[in-house]
Amino acid sequence: PMEAEAEARLLLQEAQESIEAARSYRRELEQRLRGLQQAREQIRESATLTRDVLEQHFNDLKGTLKKLLDERLMSLLQEVDAIEQESIKPLDECQKLIEHGVSTADDLLRDGESAVHGDVRQQNEKLCSFTKKALHIQLDSLPEVPSLVDVPCLSAQLDDCLLTILKNQIFSHGTVASRPPVQLEEFVEKPGGILVRWCKVDDDFIPQDYRLQYRKSTTSHFEDVYVGSETEFIVLHIDPNVDYQFRVCARGDGRQEWSPWSVPQFGRTTLVPHEWTTGLEGYSLSSRRNIALRNDSQSCGVLYSKAPTYFCGQTLTFRQVPSGQLIETVGQPDRRDSLGVCVEQQNGYDSLQRDKAVCISTNGAVFVNGKEMTNQLPAVTSGSTVTFDMEVVQLGPSSNEGGNFKLRVTISSNNREVVFDWVLDQCCGSLYFGCSFSYPGWKVLVF
């Protein structure tokens, strides 16, 4: 009986596992059906949109061509009218002269007949007057009438090769692509931003520039956020936990027109944006509180982040926007100037070069817990960029170095980096960031 009961339990367990496997299999199949349905909808929607674009484009072309042909016809007709009027005008003048001569000749004939057949007593006087009048008119002077070969004979020269050229151009105009040459590849969450990456999927396509667009909701319009040759871009000013839709296209080498858009995809970030804390007299902040400007106030001290929003595994970047320069200074650097991260806010210091902090000074020196390292980075000047990357490498009992929490820190500046271990005596899930500058003019954006 015990063996039978055990066998029954085993069979029951196997049956339950088979049922669960069948359910999982069904869920997977249903998910694939939904994927097929989405693919079918994408094909149909893109085909409908492509038809609409083609019809609209060719309707516009037909309207434009008709307008151009009408304008050309009107120009040629006006040219015919001008030539006709210019050519007829001297003929009309000649006709008036001949008609006037005919009228004069008629009058002269009547006077001559009257003189010949008139009263004998007055005949000599009339004949004398008629003869003088005839001599005055100059009956041997006739106006010249041009021959037909000397007057314009209008015609139209129409080259039939235009139709051949148009036919060849029209038949080669436009293409239909089954897929865009570039597609979105990856979305990486950033504090208050999204790193968007894309890639080329058409081996025959040689890109010159890329164009990235995004919109906050499907009801709004796409807007350009990046145009350039890079294949990734960090889109800032992103509200956390909100879906944004992205699309990308490319422009081929030596061409002016853009390729079709990639398949739009949604991206979001759950990370709140980095913000500088408000209220420190020596610094002025932007409206989003992510840009700090060292003003000309005599007050000095360390400007910290509003909250410990930097987590291990992220990249913390300092730079300046929108001028393109990353960190900009108009004043003299000071050995106490620094950018870095720390475990906690500690007021009363004029620099991050202290305990429980790692930082880089503007002369490139790296400080760990207030001690300067032998390794040094390039000086931080106008146009520099500084990034901090950290990962946990030890978490447990105290080590020989006296700490029980170790972070591997990578600081990069001007394409050079330094890597070291930062030993702390407490576990830190998140860190503050900060900066300190002694002279006005330093302007730093953090993300």
pLDDT tens per residue across span 338-392? 999 999 888 888 899 999 999 999 888 999 999 999 888 988 877 778 999 998 8
Rounded Cα distance, 389 and 419, in Å: 9
> How large is the average pLDDT for residues 195-206?
90
Contact between 269 and 262 (Cβ < 8 Å): no
> How large is the average pLDDT for residues 31-55?
91
pLDDT of 140: 67
Distances (CA, A) of 84 to 78, 157, 163: 10, 17, 29
The strand pair at 371-376 and 365-368 is best described as antiparallel
Contact between 396 and 279 (Cβ < 8 Å): no
- The H or E element containing residue 365 is strand 365-368
pLDDT of 286: 86
Task: Name the more confident of 126 and 432.
Answer: 432
Distances (CA, A) of 127 to 115, 133, 211: 5, 10, 102
pLDDT tens per residue across span 88-103? 998 888 888 888 888 8
Q: Is the pLDDT of residue 201 over 80?
A: yes
Neighbours of 277 (CB within 10 A): 17
pLDDT of 399: 46
Domains of the chain: 19-150 (no CATH), 182-269 (2.60.40.10), 283-446 (2.60.120.920)
Q: Is the pLDDT of residue 277 over 50?
A: yes
Sort residue 2 into left (φ over 0), alpha (ψ -120 to 50) or beta.
alpha
Neighbours of 442 (CB within 10 A): 26
Specify burial of residue 250 (Cβ count, 10 A radius: 0-12, 13-18, 19+). Answer: buried
Specify burial of residue 111 (Cβ count, 10 A radius: 0-12, 13-18, 19+). Answer: middle
> How large is the average pLDDT for residues 301-313?
89
Q: Is the pLDDT of residue 325 over 50?
A: no
* Percent of the chain whose predicted confidence (pLDDT) is above 90: 37
Q: Is the pLDDT of residue 326 over 70?
A: no
Indicate the pTM of the whole model: 0.60
Confidence of residue 324 (pLDDT cuts 50, 70, 90): very low
178-187, 312-321, 370-379, 414-423: the lowest-pLDDT one = 312-321
Distances (CA, A) of 117 to 104, 110, 113, 121, 444: 20, 11, 6, 11, 122
pLDDT tens per residue across span 145-176? 888 888 888 898 888 888 888 888 888 888 88
Estimate to the nearest angstrom the gap between the alpha carbon of 55 and the chain centroid.
25
Q: Is the pLDDT of residue 321 over 60?
A: no
